[in-house]
Amino acid sequence: QKEVEQNSGPLSVPEGAIASLNCTYSDRVSQSFFWYRQYSGKSPELIMSIYSNGDKEDGRFTAQLNKASQYVSLLIRDSQPSDSATYLCAVRGGWGKFQFGAGTQVVVTP
């Protein structure tokens, strides 16, 4: 079992719709959770961080964390073509190490 799992996609989303991305992790003592966006050939760019159970909103992005289910998600509202990218879920485990999921490719179609 991978430590951080994401659906690889591609996730095709019509422009203006909501994109829903999911991530599960195996280490129960994981401390903090991050979503990064990565355009092809570029470095990862931080979108959201979340540390407590519940929802956290920042503009069109909402991160949701459920530690009991070991699940973190990212919603992108009013999806735009510029949101087309790979979204990486990252988890800082109990050992302090950053672990990335394989990433979900999102394609926003006009």
Partner 1 sequence: DTEVTQTPKHLVMGMTNKKSLKCEQHMGHRAMYWYKQKAKKPPELMFVYSYEKLSINESVPSRFSPECPNSSLLNLHLHALQPEDSALYLCASSPHGTGEDTQYFGPGTRLTVL
Contacts with partner 1 by CB under 8 A lie at 31-32, 34, 36, 41-46, 49, 51, 88, 90, 92, 96-103
34, 49 contact by CB (below 8 A):
yes
Instruction: Give the residue with the Cβ less far from partner 1, 15 or 95.
Output: 95
Q: Would you say 17 or 102 has its CB closer to partner 1?
A: 102
Q: How far is the CB of 78 from partner 1 (least distance, A)?
A: 25
Least distance in Å: CB of 60 to partner 1? 20
State the nearest-atom distance from the C-beta of 100 to partner 1, in Å.
4
Distance CA(24)–CA(104), nearest Å, equals 13
Nearer to partner 1, 8 or 16 (CB): 8
Q: Which one, 10 or 16, has the nearer CB to partner 1?
A: 10
Answer whether 39's CB lies under 8 Å from 85's CB: yes
Q: Smallest distance from the beta carbon of 55 to partner 1, in angstroms?
A: 17
Asked if 26 and 54 count as a contact pair (C-beta separation under 8 A), the reply is no
Greatest CA separation for the chain: 43
Environment class of 109 (CB within 10 Å of its CB; exposed 0-12, middle 13-18, buried 19+): exposed
